Amino acid sequence: MGKVALVFPGQGAQSVGMGKDIYDTVAEARQVFELADRSLGFSLTSMIFEGPDSELKKTFNTQPALLATSIAYLEALRGKGIQADFVAGHSLGEYSALVASGVLSLEEAVSIVRARGQYMEEAVPEGQGAMAAVLGADRESLTSLCASITETGHVVELANINCPGQIVISGSQEGVAAACERVKEAGGKKAILLEVSGPFHSSMMKEAAEQLEVRLSSVQFNDTTIPLVANVTAQQVRSGSDIRDLLVKQVFSPVLWEDSINYLIQQGVDTFIEIGPGKVLTGLIKKIDKTVTVININNLESIE
């Protein structure tokens, strides 16, 4: 038997009404939403189920909403006796992975990502940062293109290395625009601007990382019960204090998703279970390796 990894999606996977089916039918899932509401002191659940979309899209709402929904699906799945060998999550999804492996309690994680969203939102004034998905470019060429643009005073950096032929760049509006215009120099086919409120996973997020570091300093981080493969290193990590340091770096460092999946495959993982709304990671994993099995847990039927 090959090994199993649980993977959790990040921002962009959210939609109004997500998780309602399991809230209505699975008591353990309902408890997750109720715990999240209590931890935050307002009804996150009614925002998730009723919207409006414009509120759910705000980073400081999206982050706890996705975390709670992913963990609710996980709790519904736990009743089926699934055993996992590794966990990983894409950006924000790393926090869901940490709850899954016992590093953080759900209440603590929900409150942290709510704050993380606020720090990220406030670090760069609206309209000054941008992100874009670059298709078809290779990593080295894109890195040197971004470096040459950054040297002119307009920051642009690699933010998410998602899968072969899909890299997200992040930085100042001018920097990202320049990289998008010159994407062919890096062998890229095209660049698509993303609907985000800031330049996530770039050095422009250093201030948010400093605030997060202070917030995390008072939090109890347990060692993992299931090894985590971290975004920042694409290696497994088990120590709670190492994970705390990596979460601070994660805010301004690239998400090494392609490397993380390749690492998991090298460790013998042949089945990936994506837990949470949407199917973003399933698509990326299939582009990294067609031979692995990917299962989506994003509704009641899929759990059955």
Tokens 């460092």 belong to 253
Nearest to 196 by CA among 254, 260, 128: 128
- CA 191 to chain CA centroid, nearest Å: 21
End-to-end CA distance of the chain: 22
Q: What tens digit of pLDDT does each residue of 242-275 get?
A: 999 999 999 999 999 999 999 999 999 999 999 9
Classify domain 3-123+204-303 at the CATH topology level.
Malonyl-Coenzyme A Acyl Carrier Protein; domain 2 (3.40.366)
Domain regions of the chain by residue span:
3-123+204-303, 129-196
193: β partners: 132
Q: What tens digit of pLDDT does each residue of 53-108 get?
A: 999 999 999 999 999 999 999 999 988 888 899 999 999 999 999 999 999 999 99
Residues forming the active site: 91, 201
The tokens for 176 are 């990202």
pTM value surpassing 0.75: yes
Is 129-196 assigned to CATH 3.40.1080.10?
Answer: no
